[in-house]
Copies of this chain bind each other. A is one copy, B any other.
Amino acid sequence: CLSVQVCEWRPPEELKELLDLELRDEGESESQILQRCRDAIRYSVKTSECSSSVGRYRSFGTQLYTYEVGPVFTLVEDAVLRKMMELVGWEEGGDGIFNAGGSMSNMYAVNLARYHHCPDIKQLGLSAAPRLVLFTSQECHYSISKAAAFLGIGTKNVYKVPSDESGKMIPSALEELIKKAKSEGAVPFMVNATAGTTVLGAFDPLEEIADICGEHNLWLHVDACWGGAALISKKHKHLLKGIHRANSVAWNPHKMMMACLQCSAFLVRDKTGLLQRCYSASASYLFQQDKFYDISFDTGDKSIQCGRKPDAFKFWLLWKAVGARQLEQRVDRKCLFHRYLADEIKKREGFRLLMEPEYANVCFWYIPPSLRQLEDGPELWSKLHTVAPVIKERMMKVGSMMVGYQPHSDRANFFRMIVISPQAGKADMDFVLDEIHNLGKDL
């Protein structure tokens, strides 16, 4: 049993060659993918196979913080980050880290932007700092407010920029708010632009926002957690035009790309080690400086966590298996089905589309026959507001499907349909509409 090695050690550069990390256009056969899994196991640290070689500090599963505890997954993370940065359009690369979800990635962004703006805050705290203000659209994900609360910036210092009818941030309104903040004596430090808003699926105009950020010297973060997948599609990447000008990007392959939860990347354009400087605590029990390998691969000090799960591996293996071309087709196919669903909604009596979908969020009301004669006015909308919750309750109890609903500014409760499965087809879209009608026609 002692002949089983805890780890078949290879230095980073050699292991890179052995693993063939590159993410290509074409996928691989099942047997090749199995071999990749075997290789990943072979060169990883074995933490519990054998009771006679248990002299390993901490045997609770492979995790990331130093190269020596996770050689394979450290390199895989690096390769996936590089590929994602290439898609963002950072030709010279950058830096980044996978972490526990999009809310966390957005928090990293706010903190990093603040550190970039004023590195002293890391040591001195905000009580010695002026009032810092960040800007985001009213349609942004709620994690931006959570970040401001958590990081000590304060939710009142999140200035919400108005969006247009389709949910996109209005650049002139952003500019006005920046001026307002400055006139109040506050200090603007970052703008969060959203590429794929949660409810409407809207994409903020990145080029114009980047211009404004340049003018006012503000960090531009793009929350592309949901919309980032469009970058892989030649047909849809125009939605994120200008993203290469961002200082940082959050992108969750566990959403549209269907890598399993959790798989969330935070990308940074800076190449001077900003991430490391911002996050390091230099714990001497892990990040020894007298190691025998290139310690730039010890990524644990770039993170607020210590041990991290090797989340990037899921996306890497998926990509290896299906290839970039099929990933692209999947995104395109899903957008097609959303288009079909929107067209069906427009055709069918009793359904009403909230707006034409640009990406993969289809928002709509179902109007039961009893309300179809009502004029478009307060009475209709207040009655309609109670329809979606009842249909949802019945849907849950029958167990036929799960489609979410929500109110939105002054709009009554509506359904929001998002399809992620690559197996979905037109019949499924029809089923959703038929079933909503069946569940709600008596209301």
A166 at the interface (CB under 8 A from B): no
Alpha-carbon distance between A396 and B55 when the two chains are bound, in angstroms? 12
Given contacts A53-B401, A156-B125, contact A60 B258 (CB under 8 A): yes
Residue ID in chain B nearest A127 by CB atoms: B131
CA distance in complex: A53, B54 (Å): 47
A133: shortest Cβ distance to chain B, in Å? 9
Q: A262-B309, A401-B53, A421-B54 are in contact. Are A125 and B153 (CB under 8 A)?
A: yes
Comparing A5-13, A210-218, A342-350, the segment that makes contact with chain B is A5-13
Interface residues of A in 297-323 (CB under 8 A from B): 304-309
> A281: CB under 8 A from chain B?
yes
CB-CB nearest in chain B for A385? B290
Whether B279 lies near A423 (C-beta < 8 A) is no
Quick one: CB contact mask for A380-416 with B, threshold 8 Å, 1 for yes?
0000001001001100111111111111100001001
Taking a contact as CB atoms under 8 Å apart, the answer to whether A407 and B284 are in contact is yes
For A395, the closest partner residue in chain B by CB is B6
Contacts of A292 on B, CB cut-off 8 Å?
389, 392-393, 396
User: Could you give, for residues 410-433 of chain A, a 1 whenever the CB lies within 8 Å of some chain B CB and a 0 otherwise?
Assistant: 000100111111011101110110
Q: Residues of B contacting A45 with CB < 8 Å? A: 402
The residue in A7, A125, A156 that gathers the most chain B C-beta atoms within 10 A of its C-beta is A125
A262 / chain B contacts, CB cutoff of 8 Å = 100, 307, 309
**Segment 239-296 of A: residues with Cβ below 8 Å from B:** 254-255, 258, 260-262, 279, 281-286, 288, 290-292
Known: A7-B399, A146-B281. A424 touches B290 (CB 8 A): no
Q: Which of B2, B261, B425 contacts A309 (CB 8 A)?
A: B261
CA distance A130 to B435 in the complex (A): 57
Task: Please tell me which stretch of A17-25, A82-90, A101-109 contacts chain B, meaning at least 4 of its Cβ atoms lie within 8 angstroms of it.
Answer: A101-109
A288 — which chain B residues lie within 8 A by C-beta? 389, 405-407, 413
Asked whether any CB of chain B lies closer than 8 Å to the CB of A367, the reply is no
- A369 touches B (CB below 8 Å): no
A169–B441 alpha-carbon span in the complex (Å): 68
In the complex the two chains form, is A261's CB within 8 Å of B305's CB? no
* Partner among B68, B283, B290, B393 whose Cβ is within 8 Å of the Cβ of A402: B68
Measured between beta carbons, the chain B residues less than 8 angstroms from A261 are 60-61, 63, 307, 309
**Nearest opposing residue in chain B for A56, CB measure:** B402
Q: List B contacts of A156 (CB < 8 A).
A: 123-125
Q: How far is the CB of A364 from chain B (nearest CB, A)?
A: 13
Q: Nearest-CB distance from A287 to chain B (Å)?
A: 10
- Which of A5, A103, A147 is most buried by chain B, counting CB atoms within 10 A of its CB? A103
B57:A404 contact, CB within 8 angstroms: yes
In the assembled complex, which residues on chain B have CB atoms less than 8 Å from the CB atom of A122?
A: 149, 154-155
Asked if residues B125 and A421 are in contact (CB atoms below 8 Å), the reply is: no
Q: Which residues of B contact A149 (CB under 8 A)?
A: 122-123, 279, 281
- Evaluate contact between A142 and B393: CB separation under 8 angstroms: no
Would you give the 0/1 interface string for A1-40, flagging 1 where the beta carbon is closer than 8 Å to chain B? 0100111110000000000000000000000000000000
Using Cβ atoms and an 8 Å threshold, which residues of chain B touch A153? 125-126, 152
Closest 10 CB pairs of A and B: A125-B154, A152-B152, A5-B399, A126-B126, A100-B100, A55-B401, A51-B423, A285-B406, A55-B432, A126-B152
9 A-B pairs whose Cβ atoms sit less than 8 Å apart in the complex: A45-B402, A51-B421, A53-B428, A100-B101, A104-B305, A121-B154, A125-B132, A150-B151, A198-B283
